[in-house]
Amino acid sequence: MRIVTLLATLFTAACCTTLPRLPQKRVAFTAPAAPFAEVIETAGHFYDEKRNRDVEVRSYSPAGPHGRLPVVIVSHGIGEDRDSYAYLGRAIARQGFLAVHLTHAGTDRATLEKGYRQLYRATKDPRNWIDRALDVTFVLDQLALQPGFDVEHSAVVGHSAGAFTAFAVAGMKSPGGESLRDPRIKAIVPISMPRIAGSYDAIDIPVLNLTGTCDTSLIYRTFPRHRRIPFESSQAARQYLVTLQGVNHDMFSAKQDPHHGVIAAIAVAFLRAWLQDDASARAWFEDAGRGEAMGTRVSVERHEHRN
């Protein structure tokens, strides 16, 4: 098993690409200062009677006085759950958002524990992909019933299959033309979008596509060039692609990784730019080019704004 793992690691490293050839960025990246130092973590679940489905959640909220909190849903990748990506939840909460991490039953860690074959079969069931988007809408419905949350200005951050979830609720249409768009979603951060057919033409909200030069998934035959497809398939304004040098697919979901700081900082800067109308945060994304963020080489690409 160790030999297989080693060979897979070496092969993945060999699949790394280089950053796009772009001019040097003029605007330096500054990690957003966190207005809240402490974070409150809670866990629970909501029951969807319509689908006879439990949706487990873990929430991260800022400790201390605050007004109504914009909501950021965090959608996990295949084989993960609500306890994954804690570094993102804490960073998001420190910026004055409510971060709600979902467990998407059917493609979660519990399914992985039944074996990789069971998990692989689950990814072939279209209903599991639809349920992911419906989970987001259902949880927003539940949060709307509680005081203190501004669900009308929500965002979704999702990794891998979670990136699909983010695109789905933003309006990506399947080949059959179906849409699961939720109009309360005002921005999305899809990380490592898998190779899934669909149309991005209806997406008109800000999108930060986030990937790495080594963002390969051998099981699903997805390579760094495929992570660019959503960005290259959409010509709408406010579409961005940030690539981090040396970052691979598993680093985004690892329990610990040296790159978590820069990943979280870029994600929260984008959320601040578009959910909190932070002009200084927005300026870095508007300045296309190659540069550095917190010691990591990065590139920023964007679509020109349309009038």
3-state per-residue secondary structure call for 159-211: ECHHHHHHHHHHCCECCCCCCCCCCCEEEEEEECCCCCCCECCCCCCCEEEEE
3-state secondary structure at position 5: helix
Q: Which two tokens stand for residue 214?
A: 């080594």
Helix pair angle (260-275, 279-286), 10° resolution? 110
Q: Quote the pLDDT of residue 12.
A: 56
pTM score above 0.85: yes
Task: Report which of 65, 69, 122 is spatially closest to residue 100, judged by C-alpha positions.
Answer: 69
* Structural domains of the chain sorted by starting position, each given as residue range(s) with its CATH number in brackets: 34-302 (3.40.50.1820)
Beta bridge partners of 42: 59
Q: How far apart are CA 252 and CA 84, in angstroms?
A: 10
Q: Quote the pLDDT of residue 306.
A: 46
Give the β-pairing of 149-159 and 185-191.
Answer: parallel
Q: How far apart are CA 162 and CA 157, in angstroms?
A: 7
Q: Is 182 left (phi over 0), alpha (psi -120 to 50) or beta?
A: beta
Q: Quote the pLDDT of residue 156.
A: 98
Q: Quote the pLDDT of residue 7.
A: 41
Mean pLDDT by 10 residues, the chain (307 residues): 44 79 96 95 97 98 92 97 98 98 96 91 92 98 95 97 97 82 97 90 95 90 93 90 97 97 98 96 97 98 68
